[in-house]
Amino acid sequence: LHGSSYFVGVDGLSAVLITTPKGHFLIDGGLPQSAEIIRRNIETLGFDVRDVKWLMNSHAHFDHAGGLAALQRMSGAPVAASQNTAAALARGSATPDDPQYSPDNRMPFPAVNVVRPLAEGGALTLSGVTITRHDTPGHAPGGNSWSWKSCEAGECVTIVYVDSMTPVSEPDYRFSDHPDYLTAFRESIAKVRALDCDILVSAHPEFSDLFRKVSTGALIDAGACRKYADAAETRLEIRLAQESTE
């Protein structure tokens, strides 16, 4: 991606490795079966998963948290996330306040043993590289986005790993019936829009057009977070309009 930041995920699911001389950060674990692929991708780059000191999560759904338990066993690293996400990771399923949760569909994944809750604006630092957590609930109640500086050949940029912001839910869930949750969702969109953001990596890479940007050399885009937020706002408004006609 840039400097010491590398995409190590799988097709359709992002994972990012940020390396330092004193250990590494790894954001997201994909599906349970993604963990081994991520490990191999890390090794292909010349790094060792056992040197990962922190794992981070975007949100506690099986397609982003499913591989974290295995990656934790490989690395011995704790997972950092919001308080809500930490609870979901420890139980190995979505929480009842998740729009996609139902008693018959808890979206289970392997539970994570060691999780460290991190507050809004909380930061983790290794060898001078600091990664900051941002509360971005909406797609999931404990949503996390992450930002850090990455330098290469004297050029330093801000990279943002942004959480999903699609209003997906169980069929009987209406965002308009949950005003507090809807307000938090809107605040997340506004927060992402305002972030310092030179390179955007979304939890699903297609939502930030990541691979096309890499292939065309257009990865640096200071307007990427704003565009992502605008698209998220449009999707939410379309969903609310649909709910109003039901």
Is 61 catalytic? The answer is yes
Q: Which of 61, 65, 95, 94 is nearest to 80 (CA)?
A: 65
| Residue 24 annotated among the catalytic residues of the structure | no
> Structure tokens of 239?
């969903």
Q: CA 147, CA 19: separation in Å to the nearest integer?
A: 14
Catalytic residue among 2, 24, 64, 134: 64
The DSSP line for 3-26 is TTEEE--BTTB--EEEEETTEEEE
Q: Please say if 139 is a catalytic residue.
A: yes
Catalytic residue, chosen from 51, 173, 181, 230, is 173
Which is catalytic among the residues 28, 61, 209, 228? 61
Among the listed residues 28, 63, 98, 198, the single catalytic one is: 63
Tell me the C-alpha distance between 146 and 161, whole Å. 5
Active-site position among 6, 59, 163, 228: 59
Marked catalytic residue, from 2, 24, 134, 139: 139
Identify whether 134 is a catalytic site residue. Answer: no
Q: How many CB atoms lie within 10 A of CB 240?
A: 14
**Which one is catalytic: 51, 178, 204, 221?**
204
Nearest to 29 by CA among 54, 49, 56, 6: 56
What is the set of active-site residues? 59, 61, 63-64, 139, 173, 204
